[in-house]
A and B are shown apart, each in its own frame.
Chain A
Amino acid sequence: MTGFAKAEVIADSYADSVRLLEATRAMLEADGVDWAWAAMATPANLETLASEGFADGGDGLDGAGVNDLVLALRAADDRAAVAALEAGRWVLFEPAAQTWVDTEGAPRPQDLDEALAAGPKANVAIVSVPGEYAALETQKALTRGLDVLLFSDNVPVADEIALKARAASMGRLVMGPGAGTAALAGVGLGFSNRVAAGPVGVVAAAGTGAQEAMTLLHRWGSGVSHVIGVGGRDLSAEVGGLMTGAAIGAFAEHDATELVLLVSKPPAPEVVEKLLGAEPAKPLVAALIGLDEPVSVAAGVTVCNTLEQGAAEALGRLGLPRPDPVGGTDAEIARLITGLDPERRRLVGLFSGGTLCYEAMTIASRHIGPIHSNTPLRADWGLPGPPGAHVCLDLGEEEYTRGRPHPMIDPLARAELLAEQASDPAVAAVLLDVVLGDGSHPDPAGELAPVAAEVAASGAAVVAYVLGADRDPQGFDAQRRILREAGCVVAETGARAALAAAALVNRDPALVHEELTVTLTA
């Protein structure tokens, strides 16, 4: 350990993890700083600080508690340390950070009841506190009669079941835990897209899956009534589809909804039977991503295994024309194949959306074989793979977000990994997703484009998919144009991007047109 160590305790100042990471980054970026960390003074964090040599020294660490904030760093000298601390404090407490205060100078409500006293018409709570406290905040919101988007991860499954059982008995929604996306009455919650109002009610156990479904419906001329996220575990045997069942039931009574689109990884078999075994009140399309064995469902239920087909089937059953998911990409792919060096055989997928990563692997692996991943389809496809293996990474997973923001919020981490691909002579295709909408980075394509251009110039092909809608703040067409101008192939759906990448790896342009499996009913 070298350098000048300095720590500062800011008492009674909770900051969420995103802001703490921003402060950490600001301090690290300051001149002459070797090591920096902004953290809450939890016992575990204080231990970490002690192991970094911040135990003693009269800087107030000894008496610090869980709601005290610590800025700690090692720098070349005292001046650098002071400047870096200032930079960290600025990120945490700059005036702009407070601009969302409703009324000028009005104090922020200190708890839900104070917020409801100031705004008694509030009817939805978004809970994003650390997982061990999420059940408490969700219970409070339910008690006050609010629907809840429960963004927090790491909520025990027993808490999830208790929350959802109570919500169901009260006629309320608990969307989550781990639900990043919902849209109620035209307002996107969490990471969401601005799409037209329409006849499709979406129930989604997969965050970017919900975003893909709602934007495809919008781009293909339809729209959504509500998008209800239920959290990735809802259709597990333990939770038993508690909220999915409640949501499907709610859509049955919802006049503006004509059809329900369910988006999920393949559920537990008994949950399929429970949710899809009886004829639904309204037409139901289940996009069970990656499903490879037909399942037995009631009449009125259509089952498919990609998001693209889920949206297309919904359009079909509503009597709307089928979209063309290929666009002009086939010619581009054919051209790129002819230019690929014979040594280039690898697929490298760098994803910000977990569901998009999962879907891409289920589609591409059928054509190119095993894909190794931090979220592998099979236990023996984990990391590291053998030399030359195909790799798809879900960069939104914990191991990549520790110490830095989610790649949908901050594309920087992904840009670094992307740049590495320019020097790998075995890469045939790099697959990227770019997720637009509220909650996401204001210009993700702009951040990624220069690096994507380097990769394209190195001889590999870059296939990108932009998930978004023309109403999204980033601008759908503009973001696609930026990537095209950087030399990327821009696909029409997540599924088609995966097929395009597989086509490049296999040197088989016809794959771009591959018919996706439509009916998977036993």
Chain B
Amino acid sequence: MKLPERVEVVSVGLDRFAAAVRDQGAAATVVDWRIPADGDGAAVAALARLYGPQAHRVDAANAEAVRRLDQGAPKLVGVDRAGAVVPGFGDRTVLHCGPAIAWDDMCDPLQRSVRAAVIAEGWAPDRSAATRLVEAGEVSLEPANEHRAVVPMATAIGPSAPVYVVALEEGSAVAYSSLNQGSGEVPWFGVDSPPAVERLRFLRDVLGPVLAAALDRSGPVDVCSLAAQGIVMGDDVHMRVQATTNLFLRDLLPHLVRSGHDRLGEAADFIASNHLMFLNVAMAGARALVEWASEVPDSSVVTTMARNGTTYGVRLPGHRDRWFLAPAPPVQDALYYPGQGPETSAPDIGDSAVVELVGLGGPASAGSPAVAGFLGGRMADAMAVTAKMGRICAGESSRFRLPIMDNAGTPLGIDVRRVVETSITPAVNTGIVHVSDGSGQVGAGVARAPIECFVAALLDLDERLAHDEPPR
């Protein structure tokens, strides 16, 4: 052991000890300490191991996980029929948002969305028949996330639905997402009316084939490159995706026009009215990145955050079958349409929080005047959201940069240790759908993830590492 030849102090706790050191002419700083993990003894003990003897192992794994999230280059390579490309997609299967859930436990908007998918698939002629079919166990309900796929809000997809296919050059990870259903009477907002079912058929019969043809002509589209440009133009690429959607369509325009599809005009009408179109592309790209990162064992970087309107689930790398669940919270800090409020709102729902895992959405808030407007109008409020995400992230993006913060990278790689230690759970900007009447969107707000699922994930990681090879 070598004893120190000079002393510079960090005081964790009492101010007076730093003051005493400074009085002697040596340097000393004081940490603005807070009680960790809300004082939960088991979590504090796990943190002591994961920041202590296991720290180098976890930190090394996190560095690799963050490298993958940061360096992976997901490419949109096509649009195809879900049943044909999504692995393990059975014949009579519907993939839904969030963790696994039984029909009876599904919230009303998700049940409606599943019904719409069943009708659109032609398995049942109407809503009551669809309900009977599902209740009879004739339809297999599975989480999209367990099939390398993600779907926003209350989306549910059958095998005939079109999906974006996103491939990573690195690690051969492929991921999928549904096509955005746009606004109005639509299943992803919990509507199962005939027009809502018709929207699904439109996506299957018109938009999907048109986009597939255009993408065949254009070749692969670099998802993160578009997102990085969109951020500089004011998108957070979750709540606001307009700039990125426009860039995407500009690149695609010549190929759309030349595809010669006979219903191109209808597709164009829809595209022109849907400013969220790129959101689902970004989600598929993010899912591809976290799929790659999830192959890194021992990492504490969160690789799934998804909700089904009843439960909120997170997953960690190296343990992909294990979900850590908590009740889905109501959406806090919400703005409502006239006549709507918390009592008419379904809990937080959807897989779109996958973008928060790769440095988009919440972490990119600082650059988005639209997000600032939502938070009350001041850019400082949006910057505070980014700063708070920085406290729970393991790294910074090298490609998603925020001009307003001197081109700092967006916080990247949510570290479950930091989440539990600080009790800061990721903020996800999201829409709100009606709790029961199938009338669709009722507002929007900021959803805070429940801490319990992160605590459970932390304790599980601690246990796995303890039973593994001894730490050095």
Contact = CB atoms under 8 A, between A and B. Distances in A.
B51 A143 contact: yes
Contacts of B33: 14, 111, 129, 137
A345 B79 CA distance: 99
Given A126-B13, A171-B1, A111 B31 contact: yes
Contacts, number: 189
Contact of A439 (B20, B34, B55): B20
Contacts of A40: 35
A128 B12 contact: yes
A473 interface: yes
B16 interface: yes
A474 B203 CA distance: 82
B137 interface: no
Interface stretch (B22-30, B65-73, B229-237, B363-371): B22-30
Nearest to A146: B10
Interface stretch (A113-121, A318-326, A357-365, A444-452): A113-121
Interface in A137-180: 137, 139-143, 146-147, 151-152, 159, 162, 166, 168, 171-173
Given A125-B12, A139-B48, A438 B23 contact: yes
A226 interface: yes
Q: What is the size category of the interface that chain B forms with chain A?
A: 35 or more
B38 interface: yes
B17 A100 contact: no
Nearest to A110: B32
B4 A124 contact: yes
Contact of A65 (B18, B31, B38): B38
B138 interface: no
Interface stretch (B39-47, B192-200, B271-279, B402-410): B39-47
Interface in A179-209: 184-190, 192, 194
Given A109-B31, A119-B29, A126 B18 contact: yes
B12 A137 contact: yes
A14 B35 contact: yes
A130 B4 CA distance: 27
A102 B8 CA distance: 13
Contacts of A186: 7
B55 A194 contact: no
A192 to B, nearest CB: 8
Given A122-B9, A139-B52, A438-B23, A151 B14 contact: yes
B52 A185 contact: no
B229 to A, nearest CB: 30
A326 B34 CA distance: 49
A254 interface: yes
A249 B3 CA distance: 11
Nearest to B15: A100
A40 B38 CA distance: 12
Interface residues of A, number: 74
A226 B35 CA distance: 32
Given A40-B35, A438-B24, A473-B23, A116 B51 contact: no
Contacts of A401: none
Contact of A136 (B16, B31, B32, B51): B51
B2 interface: yes
Given A110-B391, A129-B13, A136-B51, A143 B4 contact: no
A131 to B, nearest CB: 11
Most buried by A among B12, B15, B49, B56: B12
A67, A116, A121, A187 pick with most chain B CB within 10 angstroms: A187
B408 to A, nearest CB: 13
Contact of B48 (A127, A151, A152, A159): A159
B21 A187 contact: yes
Contacts of B10: 112, 115-116, 119, 122, 124-126, 141, 146
B300 to A, nearest CB: 14
Nearest to B418: A111
Given A159-B48, A187-B24, A122 B29 contact: yes
B416 to A, nearest CB: 15
B467 interface: no
Given A16-B15, A110-B391, A140-B52, A100 B22 contact: yes
A423 to B, nearest CB: 35
A172 B52 CA distance: 13
Contacts of B53: 139, 162, 166
Highest count of chain B CB atoms <10 Å: which of A67, A111, A172, A251: A111
B52 A112 contact: no
Contacts of B24: 187-188, 194, 438
B109 to A, nearest CB: 29
B19 interface: yes
A135 interface: yes
A172 B1 contact: yes
A128 B17 contact: yes
A283 B26 CA distance: 31
A66 interface: yes
Contact of A110 (B20, B23, B27, B31): B31
B1 A151 contact: no
A146 B51 CA distance: 14
A380 interface: no
Contacts of A226: 3
Contacts of B182: none
A133 B29 CA distance: 19
B27 A119 contact: yes
A171 B2 CA distance: 7
B11 interface: yes
15 contacts: A12-B34, A14-B34, A121-B8, A122-B27, A125-B9, A126-B12, A127-B13, A128-B14, A128-B17, A129-B13, A136-B36, A136-B48, A137-B12, A188-B21, A438-B20
Given A133-B36, A188-B20, A192-B20, 14 more contacts: A14-B35, A67-B34, A102-B29, A112-B10, A122-B9, A127-B13, A133-B35, A136-B52, A137-B12, A139-B48, A139-B52, A139-B55, A140-B55, A166-B52
Interface of B: 1-24, 26-36, 38-39, 41, 44-45, 47-49, 51-53, 55-56, 391
Closest 4 CB pairs of A and B: A139-B52, A128-B13, A438-B20, A108-B32
